[in-house]
């Protein structure tokens, strides 16, 4: 369905734009029909920039994004409108996504006027009600209220309903539950899972929360400073992380069966301010060696994962982390 092929985003920064900030650097992965893919990384890793490029909110510096075999980079006018019928996004702060001076039903009126002017009366009302009830909202309790009169969970569900009203096929969910309380988070996650099952919805789930990614996604992409560190089946990556950065992320998750000082045992070195010619994680990596001065490609380990780390060419290293290295898959 959606394929990213070596997409990059470079911003000009500094005095007179004399420096280049590589927010995203040649990232490639794909998302199939009805698949949930988690994009995981710490703040500043480029996750949201990738989501915005998919949604055409930020231009692509290089590379291509294709949706149903259509390159979206240069589409305009009616083709953009048609694209937005199928691809939508929901973001971290639901309160900033709506105009505070308009009631919630004004958003649906805008969608009607722009996308469905030919649908009127009962047919449109039924369509709105179906979208609302599919996300667990009672239209009578929501549509006549201002955004500040709704809870964060209600607003996120409302924004998902807005996307469903367009009969979308792909949703960019950018940290959509990070501002919600714990009891509401699981409801929204289960809602996404239900929509995937009932409507075949594909989802890019952008998060820094490992537990949420493990709960909802089939595939995970680990991002560090705009580069893919590790990609593959979520369970495989979480059970046996191979990239030192992924290992550090997993080790940072508090566990009930161990004290904090028994879990965290990773020395972090200073992070370089600019993209180097070598491995971007080298300055923080406790396993760095001479080969790391060369940029590693994504090395195919097996059918379940690829890792951008030279250490994975060492069979003993991979064996220690519970995965058999198939050397013939790497060329």
**Model pLDDT for residues 176-209, shown as the tens digit of each residue:** 887 777 777 788 888 888 888 888 899 999 998 8
Residue 330 has pLDDT above 50, yes or no: no
| Pairing of β 202-207 and β 36-40 | parallel
Mind listing the domains of the chain with CATH numbers? 33-58+77-222 (3.40.50.300), 240-329 (no CATH)
Order across the sheet with 219-224: list the strands. 87-90, 170-174, 202-207, 36-40, 219-224, 227-233, 305-307, 299-302
CB of 262 closer than 8 Å to CB of 277: no
Mean model confidence pLDDT for the chain:
84
Q: What whole-number distance in Å separates Cα of residue 244 and Cα of residue 28?
A: 20
Q: How would residue 48 be classed by pLDDT, with cut points 50, 70 and 90?
A: very high
Higher pLDDT, 9 or 167: 9
Residue 235 has pLDDT above 60, yes or no: yes
| Of the candidates 31, 66, 41, the residue with the CA atom closest to the CA atom of residue 196 | 31
**Model pLDDT for residues 58-80, shown as the tens digit of each residue:** 999 999 999 998 999 888 888 99
Report residue 108: phi and psi, to 5°.
-70, -35
Higher pLDDT, 39 or 141: 39
Query: Average of pLDDT values for 306-322?
Result: 85
**In the prediction, which pLDDT does 175 show?**
87
| Ramachandran category for residue 51: left, alpha or beta (phi over 0 → left; psi -120 to 50 → alpha) | alpha
CB of 184 closer than 8 Å to CB of 177: yes
**In the prediction, which pLDDT does 273 show?**
40
Residue 261 has pLDDT above 60, yes or no: no
Query: Average of pLDDT values for 306-321?
Result: 87
Q: Would you mind telling me the total number of residues written for the chain in this entry?
A: 331
Residue 259 has pLDDT above 70, yes or no: no
| Of the candidates 201, 204, 236, 232, the residue with the CA atom closest to the CA atom of residue 219 | 232
**Quick one: tokens of 294?**
């060369």
Which H/E stretch holds residue 70? Answer: strand 70-71
**In the prediction, which pLDDT does 276 show?**
59
**CA 8 to each of CA 55, 95, 150, 318: distance values in angstroms, whole numbers, following the listed order:** 15, 30, 38, 30
**Model pLDDT for residues 13-44, shown as the tens digit of each residue:** 877 777 888 899 999 999 999 999 999 998 88
Residue 327 has pLDDT above 70, yes or no: no
**Model pLDDT for residues 86-119, shown as the tens digit of each residue:** 999 988 877 777 888 888 888 888 888 888 889 8
């Amino acid at each position: 369905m959606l394929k990213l092929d070596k997409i990059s985003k470079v911003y000009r920064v500094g005095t007179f734009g004399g420096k280049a900030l590589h927010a995203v650097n040649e990232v490639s992965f794909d998302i199939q029909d009805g698949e949930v893919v988690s994009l995981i990384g710490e703040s500043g890793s480029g996750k949201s920039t990738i989501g915005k490029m998919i949604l055409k909110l930020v231009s692509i510096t290089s590379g291509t994004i294709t949706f149903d075999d259509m390159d979206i980079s240069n589409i305009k006018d009616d083709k953009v409108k048609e694209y937005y019928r199928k691809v939508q996004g929901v973001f971290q702060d639901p309160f900033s996504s709506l105009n505070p001076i308009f009631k919630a039903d004004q958003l649906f009126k805008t969608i009607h006027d722009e996308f469905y002017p030919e649908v009127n009366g009962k047919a449109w009302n039924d369509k709105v009600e179906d979208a609302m009830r599919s996300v667990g909202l009672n239209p009578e309790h929501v549509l006549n209220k201002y955004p500040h009169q709704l809870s964060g969970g209600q607003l996120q569900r409302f924004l998902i309903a807005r996307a469903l009203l367009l009969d979308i096929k792909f949703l960019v969910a950018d940290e959509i539950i990070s501002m919600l309380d714990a009891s509401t988070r699981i409801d929204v996650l289960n809602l996404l899972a239900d929509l995937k099952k009932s409507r075949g919805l594909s989802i890019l789930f952008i998060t820094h929360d490992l537990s949420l990614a493990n709960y909802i996604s089939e595939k995970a992409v680990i991002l560090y400073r705009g580069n893919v560190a590790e990609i593959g089946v979520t369970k495989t990556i979480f059970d046996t992380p191979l990239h030192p950065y992924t290992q550090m992320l997993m080790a940072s998750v508090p566990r009930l069966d161990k004290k904090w000082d028994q879990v965290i045992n990773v020395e972090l070195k200073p992070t370089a301010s600019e993209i180097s010619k070598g491995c971007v994680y080298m300055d923080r990596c406790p396993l760095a060696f001479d080969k790391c001065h060369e940029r590693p490609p994504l090395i195919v380990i097996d059918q379940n994962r690829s890792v951008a780390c030279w250490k994975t060419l060492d069979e003993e290293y991979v064996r220690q982390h519970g995965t058999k290295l198939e050397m013939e898959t790497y060329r």
